[in-house]
Chains A and B, each alone.
Chain A
């Protein structure tokens, strides 16, 4: 315990600063008086003893003892008012004795002048005045009435004693009145300040916005609203660097922008309105790392103002609000709207299509995507080959998607095809192929979205499982749709004649291939074979072009025929086209007969169409047909005659176990 602390303990009776200001000052005053008077009394007692003034010694030493007892009492009970009374009463008698007896050299009369001061301060105005007036009244009685014991003062000395005492009393009263007034005022001010602080704390603790000040070093000031801790997910943001708090929670780029931006506030020349306009923190995605490594994102809105204190120091007053809910809601709304639009579009496209057909489409598409993935995973280092291998699958998905009128998907697939076309001729880098796979992954998610939409639609329709699959209708419808779509796009009129066709002759496992083949043939026939109505009239063939499909089961194989009555395959055009194709540059094309020229149309990358569009003219068609047919052991024959038309014969071997009824 330090000396200072001991001293403090003595004069405050061990209460230190626990009492109110008023009580504390009285207690300190009382204790100080006790100590001073003890010292003086001790000295007086000793001097009285030396002078052998026994009465004075007894008075002084008994006062000393009393006061010491009072000191102990005060220390134990800490009761200020009774102690003050006791002290004043001891003082009363001591000073009374000193005043009436005169003490040594009549100096006792000087001591009594201090009594009003002590009394009034210790006992307050009312009680103090009663004590002091009683005191001076008593002293006057003793010094003026002759038979009462008192020192022998001259009259003028007596008058001076009383006059000085009254003056002292008056000053003491005035002083006390002023002091009490001041004290009251101070107390009121303190109370007001406390209330204000309480209100401010209340505000800071309950306001939902995060409010804080930033100094020139961009540190968060110690006093900030409680909500800031929650908003920034920071236990103690006070005294931390604001940029440090943002670190890892917002993009690095934004932090450096924020730093530059905030520093602009400290330049008084910058216009505040302008600063507000360029605020990079107007809406911030604030990502808080959770324990499991994931992010919890919230949207915060910071508004910033420059404030200047009286010393011309500039601070930034920042207010931050959590606008996640509003933002998420608007985002969700937009996303939901987009999603709904997209789904509605898809649904409107698929609602008219037979759900069985759609179901088939999804299944086939997933098989094709699986095939694509197999090719990719096989990791052919030659990217050109990889692309060439996945192309037929993409083309097949596109063909089916066109058939079902899924325009979004068709567009995406067409883009991929064009990309492959473009890339196919160059040296491919990893990035080229990565870019393509990214696009393909887009298709994958589009397809899973379609699947989702279909499930929604299907739940309105008859359950697929219980729906009787009528293959003939499905097969014929598919081909019909291609013919209708392609001919409408080209202003042609084409009729499908299917009298001798039975699609039940097609086995389940071959269904997809044969349908793809027929669809491709139909597309080619309408695009390249059938003439425009005008041309047909000129040729005396009737406005409507005709396409016949036939089927026939012959012992070990089934034969399908696809015949059109168009202008036939233009062999010269093939020859011309082939001449410009790099793959055939070494061949003696001029010497080719019709059979050899016809073979060229099955070459990968060969197309006689002049321009490419989504529905036809992509050169993979015939090549795809042949390779698909070969995969199920089929054969393809072509016959053509100018202006008479073309005939495609497809021969599929029958499986021995396949005893389907014809």
Chain B
């Protein structure tokens, strides 16, 4: 895992969050995540990465934040994780992935369209070897927190 692959995602996340909600989230201290570790998130968007590094970048939200953000964007009160929430977060993360791509152009990487997983303690299948190392980067905003998790393995 190398920092140069992660930074574009952090920047893109901050940028998109600011553009959509006019708030720049704070980035907190990163920490280690174990593959099988339970988590507190209700919805995650997974962006697959292949090429010179292989793995995934995952954005995870609580139900509260996901519905809150969706409410702002669809202009109606959303209480449950419904299709609108999935679509909205999918679109948002799609833009994040798109913006991150710009910062990754010089590397031999292929970045997939995000796919969404929902449910309490939903399982995220990390691609790559069993012992892949994952780090979590927490974001705090005035309307709640979310996490960017990165699990990448260098090929070669």
CB within 8 Å of A: which residues of B?
Answer: 1-3, 6-7, 27-32, 34, 46, 48, 50-51, 101, 105-110, 112-115, 127, 130-135, 137-138
Contact = CB atoms under 8 A, between A and B. Distances in A.
A379 B27 CA distance: 10
Given A253-B108, A434-B3, A442-B133, A293 B32 contact: no
Contacts of A295: 48, 50, 110, 112
Nearest to B6: A434
Given A249-B110, A254-B108, A379-B29, A285 B50 contact: yes
A604 interface: no
Q: Which 8 A-B pairs have the closest CB atoms?
A: A293-B115, A441-B133, A376-B31, A445-B133, A445-B131, A437-B30, A287-B110, A379-B28
Contact of A437 (B107, B114, B115, B135): B135
Contacts of A437: 30-32, 135
A292 B51 CA distance: 18
A386 B29 contact: yes
B131 A449 contact: yes
A294 B1 contact: no
Contacts of B106: 253
9 contacts: A293-B114, A295-B110, A435-B3, A437-B135, A438-B1, A438-B3, A441-B1, A445-B132, A448-B130
A455 to B, nearest CB: 12
A289 interface: yes
A144 B2 CA distance: 114
Nearest to A335: B129
Nearest to A441: B133
A248 B101 CA distance: 11
Interface in A409-450: 430-431, 433-435, 437-438, 440-442, 444-446, 448-449
B29 to A, nearest CB: 5
B32 A289 contact: no
B1 A383 contact: no
B127 A294 contact: yes
The CB with the most chain B CB atoms within 10 A, among A248, A293, A435, A448, is that of A293
Contacts of A444: 32, 34, 133
Contact of B27 (A289, A372, A430): A430
A438 B115 CA distance: 25
A376 to B, nearest CB: 4
A373 interface: yes
B112 A293 contact: yes
Contacts of A433: 29-30
Interface residues of A, number: 40
Contacts of A32: none
Given A294-B127, A445-B133, 4 more contacts: A253-B107, A285-B50, A383-B29, A452-B131
Contact of A251 (B2, B29, B51, B133): B51
A601 to B, nearest CB: 31
B61 to A, nearest CB: 17
A294 B138 contact: no
Nearest to A451: B131
A112 interface: no
Contact of B7 (A377, A386, A431, A445): A431
B113 A289 contact: yes
Contacts of A386: 29
Contact of A297 (B50, B101, B133, B135): B50
A249 B112 CA distance: 9
A380 interface: yes
Nearest to A374: B31
Interface string A285-315: 1010100111101000000000000000000
Contact of A293 (B46, B101, B107, B133): B46
A243 to B, nearest CB: 15
A252 B113 contact: no
A293 B131 contact: no
Contacts of A401: none
B112 A441 contact: no
Contact of A441 (B29, B50, B135): B135
A435 B137 CA distance: 12
Contacts of B113: 289, 293
Contacts of B48: 293-295
A442 B112 CA distance: 25
A289 B112 contact: yes
Given A431-B7, A440-B32, A448 B27 contact: no
Contact of B115 (A249, A292, A373, A379): A292
A287 B135 contact: no
Contacts of A289: 112-113
Nearest to B137: A434
A373 B6 CA distance: 20
Nearest to A448: B131
A394 B48 CA distance: 32
